[in-house]
Structures are given as structure tokens and as C-alpha cells.
Amino acid sequence: MRAGVAINALLSDFSVHDAEARLWPQTERLKANARLAITRPQCWRSVVEAGETLLRYLAPVPGLWYDRLTVAGTFVCEPSPASTLYHIVAACLELQSALTAATPLNPPR
């Protein structure tokens, strides 16, 4: 991660291959942390952080989103791929599943 975002790609030695941060890696981060939080309540903080990061991409205009965050930390104003909606919906469903699994005995933290 770079500055609170999941970057696009690392090489096998974990060095950075592509330091830009598209929207879809943010959804994957949210999905992974939500899944972990079901059995590891200490992961809920990471779920919140991933959700807050994703919201940065969704902020510009209701119903629209940014797709790319540059290394300099600015969003690129360009059309987003249609497949981005799939990633957003999948992340929301995974979060909903994790929240449903959180019971009074296993609350989100």
C-alpha cells in the first residue's frame, strides 16, 4: 500500500511495479479484509480503513466515481470502465456478508 491506498501491482520480490491506485484494488482490499473480519474481529479496523479509502473514489459526483489515483495523489478525470460497477457491488456484498456474520458475541470493532 501507498499512502493509505492499495496500489495496482507489485513484483514477486514485493517491489513496486505500478504505483498508481485504481479503484478496483480498493474494492479487493475491502473484500479481503471483510472476509478476514468474519473470523478475526481485530480486522474490522482494516475494513473501516479500506471503506474510507474506497469512499474517496466515490466522492466527486453522486452516481459517479474516479477510477485512477496518480502517484502524485491526484485523481484522473476520465471515463471509468463499465466493469468498475461490478467491483463496487461485489465489495458491498462482501461487506454486507461480513456485517451479517457479526453477531452480538462477535461484533465489529
DSSP SS3 for 64: coil
Residue 65 lies in a domain: yes
Per the DSSP assignment, residues forming a β-bridge with 9 are 18
pLDDT of residue 80: 87
What pLDDT, in 10s, does the model give residues 25-48? 999 999 999 999 998 989 999 999
**Does the pLDDT at position 19 exceed 70?**
yes
Q: Strands 21-22 and 68-69, how do they pair?
A: antiparallel
Residue 78 lies in a domain: yes
CA distance 22 to 46: 19
Residue 72 lies in a domain: yes
The parent domain of residue 66 ranges over 9-101
pLDDT of residue 64: 85
Q: How many domains does the chain have?
A: 1
Whole-model pTM above 0.75?
yes
**Does the pLDDT at position 106 exceed 70?**
no
What pLDDT, in 10s, does the model give residues 48-77? 999 999 999 997 777 789 999 999 999 999
**pLDDT band, very low/low/confident/very high, at 107 (cuts 50, 70, 90):** low
| 7 touches 19 (CB < 8 A) | yes
**Does the pLDDT at position 86 exceed 90?**
yes
Residue 40 lies in a domain: yes
